[in-house]
Structure 1
Amino acid sequence: MARLVLFGPGYTGSRLASSLQRDGWQVDAISRHTPNDIARAALGQATHVLSTVPPGDNGDPILPAYGDALRKAPWIGYLSSTGVYGDTKGAWVDESAALGGRRDGRIAADQAWAAIGARVFRLPGIYGPGRAMLERLKAGQAHRIDLPGQVFCRIHVDDIIGGVRAAIERGPAGVYNLADDRPAPQNDLVEYGCGLLGLAVPPLRTLDQLDLSPQARAFYSENRRVANEKAKRLLGWRPLYPSYREGLAALV
């Protein structure tokens, strides 16, 4: 029986677990509250290991604790972030691009998992049921921001699941960008979402006019387009939602 040890059963991990369990997989979900001996016992029987746990202040928390045991699994995966590319001023980046920017801990974790032969999936902003622009629009929390030329990539949670499952079935170990096909300004999502919901489009404002958190301001300080051709070529993966339009319309 295929058996996945899943570190971090959060939003994406839980949906992946449900997808695999429907196909007869056994999934052992390991959280921060799981005793060490139980986690190690599960790893001793794992055919696949995946971590969705982001690095903390002290770096990646999983490899130092379980690296010796999880290395024995035939298949290892890790969910990373396209934030490791930093700000590219809107230029396209693929998996061969240099890493940099403000995420030293994320870069170190990304490289550490790649070094042990994991499939490292670099992800942009994740959206899906209950976690999308639509919820912020309904709550009156979405903004249009005056940042000409700035674009972002994003990925529907079900397309992450599709990419991970494709990498389980075929393709070598390595780094894969899982992103949609159409990088777009955040304002486009706001305007399209308002059209879907029949809401008025919020006014255009500058960053200084909004009370944004430091994390949100940092998000808007970066501008990049992420290429996904490697995952398509080596994994046979294709996004179900190639742009925000298909993804948001399906959520409505």
Structure 2
Amino acid sequence: MSGSDLPAIDIQQLTFTHTTPGALLSDKPFVALRDVNFSLPRGSRTLLVGGNGAGKMLGRDVFKDFPPNVVYLGTEWAMNTGTRGDIVVSDFLNSVGGYRHKERRDHLLDILDINLDWHMHHISDGERRRVQLCMGLMGEWDILLLDEVTVDLDVLVRDQLLEFLQQETIERNATVVYATHIFDGLNTFPTHIAHMCDGQFTLNPTPWPLRDLDNLLEDPKAKEHFLKSGSSIHALALTWLSNDRTVRVQAEKEGKRRKVRGARAQTIPSDSETFYKKYDYSH
């Protein structure tokens, strides 16, 4: 198999666990991923839908020989202290190599509607997010991992960004994996769609639009709702997430899972309730 024929991402038997904040020593580690297996071709755009081992990218083992030109952009960046300092955007971009990518940088400045004279500590969250995207995308990346990073963008900038990413996959054979909860305007964007629930794929990355609905949507009502809603990604995501919640709530009722979300049956006041009621002078 030639280098160009290798999948962009190839993951086999990947399981990942971690401890949750505030967990006790006796608590079991949280299983974030369970035996994940999938492969993505170069030039694909995969939309990852889901409620709030060893992997390979570009033929390399990511744990031993991490490949170059892989970019991850997530929401936590804009909260970092360094991104909120009194620094001019032009200087900020140059500090991360903007001068090496002038043509692509300038193209992104126009797409993302960025003012080079902005000061990072004076701009809004949405404007700061645009700077992050320009910073991350101005190099010629091969794989782009996006995690809810478009949440602060206005609809026009978001649409122009998605068009840019689509062109990158077509013209440079780059690969995009996009996790989001905003599905408006996405129907023509992905080449593949995937659904993850409880650390597992209930649907591995599958070509979009979906073809084999009888197997992918076994519930007749879910299939009917999907078709009546114009076979949109929004309708599909709503169907999947609604079913995910139903399964989780049923597992909690049967004692298969500890209830951690929603209202709790509680007859004895909590410590915080007792404390704040003591100093409540509103009555």
* TM-score for both structures, normalised by structure 2: 0.27
Point out the structure with max Rg over C-alpha.
Answer: 2
* TM-score for both structures, normalised by structure 1: 0.29
